[in-house]
Structure 1
Amino acid sequence: MADEVVEGLKTKFGDAIKDVYEKSRRRTYITVDAARLPDIAEYCYKDLGCRFQICTGMHLEHGFEILYHFAMDRADRIINLRVILDLEKPSIESIARRVPAAEWIEREMWELLGIEFRNHPDMRHLLLTDDWLEGNYPLRRDWKDWRGGEHDTSE
């Protein structure tokens, strides 16, 4: 089943499919061109009938990695679409208008990692307060608590 999905993606999206890594029978990672990610995500969601699970982001030394996790429930497979974004100005087109379940997680990644999701339908704070210092992203590797002092985390 994974081979059919990968071949279908390669046929439909050509050069936008950069790399394929099959970690196991159930999990495939597909690195895609960030500019084509919205089209590819929509295809997985609408045409392949995948269920959007979540997306995860990581601040790496060379950029930001986002993994969009799609479940093919009937086939017992997870398709992970992977993009790498620029380290200095991480930005990508939002998939939330095409895959509505992505709306909250994109907001969370914007707040915590500082990734810009262009054309997001409702980009406002989700977890952090509205007075949170702009440009201060707690999940970045270089984050330093801007409030200073020690904090009681026992609550």
Structure 2
Amino acid sequence: MDTMDTPQIIKSFESALDGALTGTRVYEREIAVKRNTYTSLWLDVKRDGFRAAILHVCHLQENPHFTVIAPVDRGDTVELLYHFSLFYGRHLSAIALVLRVTLSKADLTIPTITDIIPGAIFSEREVQEMMGVTVAGIPDNRRLFIPDEFPKGVYPWRRDDTGPEKMLKVLPGRQGIQHEQHD
């Protein structure tokens, strides 16, 4: 598909997701010597429309560049930020696209996208072991970064009681450093 501008992309998601798109934000910044504009488009998507959103990304560009899933612990919820680059490789056309899905900690389940974007497997495995999110249908459920001996139910990136507070150690030379506390 040819490139689209930001309003066209938003409108296409509104049509494709039938009410599952709950919010949009557009960030533009000037980059490089020529001060070209680089656009980041953030879309909030309900979990029940998430796979349709991923399929729509693939409709906009046959092989979108999937970057990473960035999870954020927000207290009672976990946000999953799926980062993509659309229209890359076309001069001044690339757009950063972030699909944000917010999950209640009472139900930290999201469907896999590896059948659509196989390269997402590593990020999905990472989110499972580091945040405790269950990725339903993931083809490879093994841990990727932490050893099998690591305690079950402890998630290194969580800020709640499932986080590794008791397991933290101060590395040599780091004594006395105050770390930022997040509420």
TM-score, normalised to structure 2, is 0.77
Deviations 1:55-91 (A, max 9, x none): 1001112300011111011322111100100123311
Matched, 1:53 2:67: yes
Aligned partners of 1:118, 1:128: CA distance in 2, in Å?
20
Q: What RMSD, in angstroms, separates the aligned Cα atoms of the two structures?
A: 1.8
Does residue 84 of structure 1 match 2:97? no
Q: Does 1:144 align with 2:164?
A: yes
2:122 to 70, 79, 104: 104
What amino acid is the match of 2:81? L
Task: Tell me how far 1:152 sits from its aligned partner.
Answer: 4.7
Identity %: 22
Deviations 1:28-71 (A, max 9, x none): 11000112212211220x21112111110011123000111110
Letter in 1 for 2:18: G
Q: Distance in 2 between matches of 1:131 and 1:87?
A: 24
Report how far residue 153 of structure 1 moved.
6.3
Which whole-Å CA distance do the structure 1 matches of 2:115 and 2:172 have between them? 37
- d(CA) in 2 for partners of 1:83, 1:40: 10
Deviations 1:102-122 (A, max 9, x none): 100110111111011000111
Equivalent AA in structure 1 for residue 56 of structure 2: Y
Q: Which has the higher contact order (CA 8 A, sep 6+)?
A: 1
Is 1:18 the counterpart of 2:22? The answer is yes
Higher gyration radius (CA): 2
Distance apart, 1:145 and its partner CA: 4.4
Please say if 1:31 is aligned against 2:44: yes
* SS of match in other structure, 2:18: helix
2:109–2:134 CA contact under 8 A, matched in 1: yes
Secondary structure in structure 2 of the residue aligned to 1:112: helix
Q: Distance in 1 between matches of 2:138 and 2:172?
A: 33
1:35 is paired with a residue whose SS is helix
Which residues of structure 2 form unaligned runs of 5+? 29-37, 174-183
- Cα distance in 2 between the residues matched to 1:11 and 1:67: 21
CA–CA distance in structure 1, aligned partners of residues 103 and 134 of structure 2: 10
Unaligned runs of 5+ in 1: none
When you count helix as a share of all residues, which structure comes out higher? 1
TM-score, length-scaled by structure 1:
0.90
Name 2:6's counterpart in structure 1: 2
Counterpart of 1:138, as a letter, is P
